[in-house]
Structure 1
Amino acid sequence: MTFAHPVSALRYWQQHAPEQVFLRQPQGDIFIEYTWHQVADESRRIASALTAMGFEPGERIAILAKNSAHWFIADLAIMLAGYVSVPIYASASSETIHYVLKHSETRAIFVGALDHWADQEKGIESDVVRIAMAAETMPAALQWSQLLKNNQPIAYSEQLDPNAKMSIVYTSGSTGEPKGVVMSFAGFTKASYHLIDQLDIHGRERTVSYLPLAHITERVYIQGTALFSGLISVSFVESLARFNTNLQSIKPTLFLSVPRLWLKFQQGIWQNIPPKKLDLLLKVPLLSRMVKNKIKVALGLEEARLLGCGSAAVSTELLRWYARLDIQICQAWGMSETLAYGTLNIPFNLKHIDSVGRTGKGAEIKVSEQGELLFKSDAMLTKYYLQPELTRQLYTKDGFIHTGDKAEIDDEGYVRITGRLKDMFKTAKGKYVMPVPTEAKFEDSSLVEQVCIAGDGLAQPVALLILSELSKEMDKVALEHKLAELLEHINERLESHERLAHLLILSDAWTPENGLLTPTLKIRRHKLEAKYKSLFMQADEKIAWY
């Protein structure tokens, strides 16, 4: 069964699989389960409430909340009522919230569970109607429970336009103001079906939704594949503190993550089994099997058949380290503009573990003379919202889009991303440096949690580092000796103009809340460089502490 529109899929599952569990919301030690009938019924009641507010068809309704069953339901309600959703990252600052709401001309906003709503509500002007989800959140004029009680389910429309706007997905703004990527129902549908095919979803699956639903990857890989396949139960996590407990309970068969979380998992494993001891255990066949299984159970991944990693560059050595544990992590590449559909290393190919895989059905890639990856598929953005000149600049004359990524494609079609064109900088010697490959080399070290390579106008680049929890337990003299060894080891593998002059060890964390990471945990390079540029000139030791 295939559908041309997400509302058609919802209608079908409500009618043909009403008692099948679709969403699972944690509450303490239990999960509240929502069947397809319950999800459809609540979505249709909230949709009735929205239409009663008198908004014109196509008007924008925002969602500002952590991932939850109600996030899915609110999104479906917006579709059912004929409006356009505008997801906003739950960690967004009041300034970003204000910008997105004004730029998208949003009329109403769903607000749900948030960590800093008292600061964030300053970004919502009084003329934007607030609707509070069933969660502790900011004051709102309308309450979810009352809307459910006071409204009957809206009738399913017989006039569904696949080419209509479904959502305006704002980019995370790693290099400036967020851009509004307009996604049509047709684009969302095609991208979702392509992924259902590539992920080989043909039987019952379990997954967990915790990466931001305001980001295109979670929206298509998780929400889209679950909605159209009807085969995936989607569970959510209660909090960061209970993440691992929830994951152990869910036992996902499909699990997607970002490099930073895979690094966190690795550091957690090392805290329980130090690296040297783990290496020794893995060399003993019987013990190796037991240790691998114990680690998978501890992570909650013992039943996972497919593991993924994307959003930012990841160290090949980290992936190889996991492969030794029989944890095969497939890299993928995509963008908001490609609706997350791009390339995947699926099925997992150890020979090409350093690549982001190959294109799937309906997609084409090539590399320009400048080394930029160019991409085209039948599932892409419609345009940038209210930015026609940016839309024009995005496309090549033959219909490919400029991705901004430098890449190589081998004879088998596997793609290796070598950096971002905008990240490249020139040293005082006139030599260009791509920071991402050097940053990836630091990910092989248990000492480092976050890294940013900078050096525009310097004689040699420098590395800004946030140390791992493991390193903080070490004696400072011993730690400094290890860091010096790390610097020497990395510099030996770099060209002369790329070699690092200093390691700048910073004490303050980089987080989405302080604006130094995007909501998808990528570094905001321009903000880091601006914040710490004064330190670049001060450093007079190989290892400098701040």
Structure 2
Amino acid sequence: MSSAQSVIGSDKIAGRPTSVAHLFLSRVEATPDGEAYRFPVPVDEHAADGAPGAEQWRSLTWGQTAVRVKNLAAGLMALGIGSEDRVAIASSTRVEWILADLANMCAGAATTTVYPSTNADETAFILANSESKAVFAENATQLAKVVAQREQLPALGQVILFDAPAEPPAAEGLEVVTLAELEERGAAYLKQHPDAVQQAVDALDREQLATLIYTSGTTGRPKGVRLVHDCWAYEGVAQQESGLLRAEDVQFMWLPLSHVFGKTLISGQIATGHVMAVDGRVDRIIHNLPVIRPTLMASAPRIFEKVYNGIAGRARAEGGAKYKIFLWAAKVARTYAQTTQANRIATGRDSAPLGLSLQHAIADKLVYAKIRAAFGGRLRGSVSGSAALAPEIGYFFLGAGVPILEGYGLTETSAGSTVNRAEDVRVGTVGMPLPGTEVRIAEDGEILLRGPGVMRGYHQLPEQTAEVLEPDGWFHTGDIGELGKDGYLRITDRKKDMFKTSGGKYVAPSEVEGKFKAICPFVSNILVIGNGRNYCTALISLDETVIMPWAAERSLGKKSYAEVVGSPEVRELVEGFVKKLNVELQRWQTIKKFTILPRDLDIEHGELTPSLKIKRPVVERTYADAVAEMYTGANEA
């Protein structure tokens, strides 16, 4: 294969175990009394110190975790689950998800991940295509999806419920047990076969299937990505060796574990042995941060955008001097971060002129310290992935002392391929390769990856596998990028998302969209359109939590969200930000017309993937009339 640039990174990483199951048992042996997981539990409403709706955090040590995992693994064996049998997990992020996944691996089985938001039809497709024999279901809602599609699932025999309803729905032909009952069966099984789990782990092979993760494609059925034990074992050791995760960390895990981004961080946590606080309720993130006080958190860019917009919105609502102070502090944060980053690259030292440093110190006391406190006060870094982060957002948080460590990877590469390090953040890049991963740029600019984390293929799809995976191991990502001389990777755009205008000019829509998100604090999502057209347009949705307080300060306070975003006042507001955007763009990139959508894009309408990526074809189809209207009768160059 030819390439435009030499290979960056190494294909070697020494000392990794055969599997995460091996890594887990080694961790348990090394630090049995160390804290492994924290998780919230409801407080008994009848307890003296409890109240309805109250909750408290509890912990599991590594030794306690091992007892539960081994009992669950043995319980699966008692159900007849064997080597490479698929066992699905359909649940939100909670500690039981991790226990179930580890139990699957320690029993020699393979996990099939299912988002809890997946509808019954697609859930059935994933379970049938993977030939899953059992499924861990979070609650009656997830069980009902399985029951509704029972005829399509001949291989499925058991459902294990995390939360058992008082009256489980009828499930003809399925054995339904609770998690506690499975643990009890496992404990009894181990009394008869005390070495069963250890023998199952010893029998694991590096190339044995560990996980099937189905990609949430923009069209057609999702594809099952085959990730073997070596993929996850590699990710665990690579994250540890890179310094991304440290033994002293307290990590807040709220990401969906059905997604590869969240799943890969479990491997790293086991390798380092640090504490992980687990709670997937997105509406509890802000509440949990000061309670957990994490040193590390992973997130999608959308969360940072919402945090920034929220801070800006509150400052604007307070008005007067406070808003002016925020605007000044935001500018200082970006300038300081850009200056120190440039000096670090040039000289190896973080430095800034005395005047800028003094301004930064003042802004820190007035603004940045409060931002850090909102994150718990100890955050040394927040890993960002799954979509592009607007550089202006990255510079703001870096200048405020909350460095966002943007990384890059795909489901097909077990997520972790490149990442920024806390000691040398390069905003606008996705960092350097993890140890053991190689990166190269093809002649057409496509990013190619090779390493132990790369999938072994798409499940039962050899032709589609051959389209993206070379015989020598290089994986075609479909992303366009550049490699700097220092080894930092920069993503330009999705190869399939880039388009050419009718005038022959290429446009990278994510670049334009990122710039707009940095300029407009009211935006939630934006989709730039222009393929084969003679100018670019945009579909824009606004963040309800930011635009409604703005509306309340004006004559729009009693109107609904749809009425507010459809008002002339909001149209004028957004138009001002579009004009600011266009000043920063090349002529052929500028947004000539835009439509404000009557509601935000969401997962429920199929417009966003569970990892919050926009499904461009779906959105364009949904709002085809609006798009057509923006081009009707126009002949602009």
**Structure 1-normalised TM-score?**
0.92
Counterpart-to-counterpart distance in 1, 2:504 and 2:476: 26
Distance change >3 Å, CA 295–CA 56, structure 1 → 2: closer
Tell me the amino acid that sits aligned with residue 488 of structure 1: K
Match for 2:229 among 168, 175, 185?
185
> Percent identity of the aligned residues?
26
Residue 109 (structure 2) pairs with residue 74 (structure 1): no
Residue 610 (structure 2) aligns with:
519
Give the 3-state SS of the residue equivalent to 2:112 in structure 1.
strand
Instruction: Say if 1:130 and 1:30 are closer, same or farther in 2 by CA, change over 3 A.
Output: same
Could you say what secondary structure the match of 1:192 adopts? helix
* Structure 2 Cα separation of the partners of residues 249 and 488 of structure 1: 42
Aligned with 1:423: secondary structure? coil
Deviations 1:416-446 (A, max 9, x none): 1111111123444454432111111111120
Q: Specify the SS of the correspondent of 1:502.
A: strand
- Tell me how many residue pairs correspond in the alignment: 538
Q: CA deviation at 1:397?
A: 5.9
State whether residues 58 and 165 of structure 1, in contact with CA within 8 Å, keep that contact through their aligned partners in structure 2.
yes
Pairs within 5 Å for 1:450-489:
450-468=525-543, 469-472=545-548, 473-474=550-551, 475=554, 476-489=567-580
Match of 2:541, SS? strand
Inter-partner Cα distance in structure 2 for 1:13 and 1:415: 33
Q: 131, 134, 139: which one pairs with 1:105?
A: 131
Counterpart of 2:595 in structure 1 is 504
In structure 2, which of residues 210, 224, 237 is the aligned counterpart of residue 166 of structure 1? 210
Alpha-carbon shift at residue 336 of structure 1 (Å): 1.4
Match runs of 1:116-515 below 5 Å: 122-123=148-149, 125=152, 127=154, 128-135=156-163, 139=169, 141-152=176-187, 153=190, 154-157=196-199, 158-220=202-264, 222-230=265-273, 232-237=274-279, 239-274=281-316, 276-280=324-328, 283=359, 285-286=361-362, 288-300=364-376, 302-349=377-424, 352-396=426-470, 398-444=472-518, 445-468=520-543, 469-472=545-548, 473-474=550-551, 475=554, 476-515=567-606
Paired amino acid for 2:618: K
Question: Residues 264 and 136 (structure 1 numbering): CA distance in 2 closer, same or farther, change over 3 Å?
Answer: farther
Q: Per-residue deviation at 1:146?
A: 1.5
Instruction: List per-residue Cα deviations over 1:460-509 (Å, max 9, x = no partner).
Output: 22111111232232345543333222212222332333222211101222
| Alpha-carbon contact 2:451-2:473 (below 8 Å) kept | no
After TM superposition, give the deviation of residue 176 of structure 1 in Å.
4.0
Does residue 47 (structure 1) correspond to residue 73 (structure 2)? The answer is yes
Shift in alpha-carbon separation, 1:339–1:155, aligned structure 2, 3 A? closer
Picking from 1, 18, 21, the partner of 2:32 is 18
- What amino acid is aligned across from residue 378 of structure 2 in structure 1? E
> Aligned AA for 2:384?
C
User: What corresponds to 1:30 in structure 2?
Assistant: 56
Preserved contact between residue 90 and residue 142 of structure 2 (Cα < 8 Å): no
Q: CA RMSD in A?
A: 2.5
SS across alignment from 1:95 = helix
Distance in 2, Cα, partners of 1:366 & 1:509? 37
1:275-294: CA deviations, max 9, x gaps?
53313456474453252122
Cα distance change of structure 1 residues 298 and 480 upon mapping to structure 2, 3 Å threshold? same
The answer to whether the Cα contact below 8 Å between 1:90 and 1:212 also exists between their aligned partners in 2 is no
Q: 1:38 to 1:523 in 2, by over 3 A?
A: same
| 8 Å Cα contact 1:46-1:77 kept in structure 2 | yes
Give the distance between the partners of 2:621 and 2:488, measured in 1 at CA: 36
Amino acid at match of 2:181: Q
Counterpart in the other structure of 2:561: none
Q: Distance in 2 between matches of 1:284 and 1:227?
A: 38
Larger helix fraction of residues = 2
Q: Which amino acid aligns with 1:415?
A: L
1:407, 1:287 → 2: CA distance?
Answer: 35
* Deviates further, 377-386 or 401-410: 377-386
Whether the aligned pair in 1 keeps the contact of 2:93 and 2:280 (CA below 8 Å) is: no
Q: Secondary structure at the match of 2:492?
A: strand
Q: Secondary structure at the match of 1:99?
A: helix
Asked if the contact 1:94/1:121 (under 8 Å) is kept, the reply is: no
Distance 2:616 2:324 in 1: 34
> Do 1:65 and 1:114's aligned partners in 2 also have CA atoms closer than 8 Å?
no
Q: Distance in 2 between matches of 1:198 and 1:284?
A: 30
Distance (Å, rounded) in 2 between the aligned partners of 1:458 and 1:422: 17
- Aligned amino acid, residue 129 of structure 1: G
Q: In 2, distance between residues paired with 1:343 and 1:10?
A: 24
The answer to whether the 8 A contact 1:96-1:123 is kept is no
Alpha carbons 1:491, 1:499 under 8 Å: kept: yes
Distance (whole Å) between structure 2 residues aligned to residue 90 and residue 114 of structure 1: 11
Distance 2:532 2:623 in 1: 14
Q: Structure 2: how far apart are the matches of 1:68 and 1:490?
A: 41
- Aligned mates of 1:266, 1:182 — CA distance in 2: 37
**Equivalence for 1:544:** none
Question: How many Å separate the matches in 1 of 2:622 and 2:373?
Answer: 41
Gaps of 5+ in 1: 542-546
Q: 1:481 to 1:243 in 2, by over 3 A?
A: same
Q: Which amino acid aligns with 2:24?
A: L
Q: Measure, in 2, the Cα distance between the counterparts of 1:219 and 1:459.
A: 43
The answer (yes or no) to whether the contact 1:93–1:120 under 8 Å persists in 2 is no
Query: Partner letter of residue 227 of structure 2?
Result: M
Q: Are residues 97 and 192 of structure 1, via their aligned partners in 2, closer, same or farther at CA, if it must alter by over 3 Å?
A: same
Quickly say closer, same or farther: Cα 1:116–1:273, change in 2 above 3 A. Answer: farther
Which shifted more, 19-28 or 442-451?
A: 19-28
The one-letter amino acid paired with 1:412 is D
Looking at structure 1, the residues matched to 77 and 542 of structure 2 have their Cα atoms a distance apart, in angstroms, of: 51
**Higher Cα radius of gyration:** 2
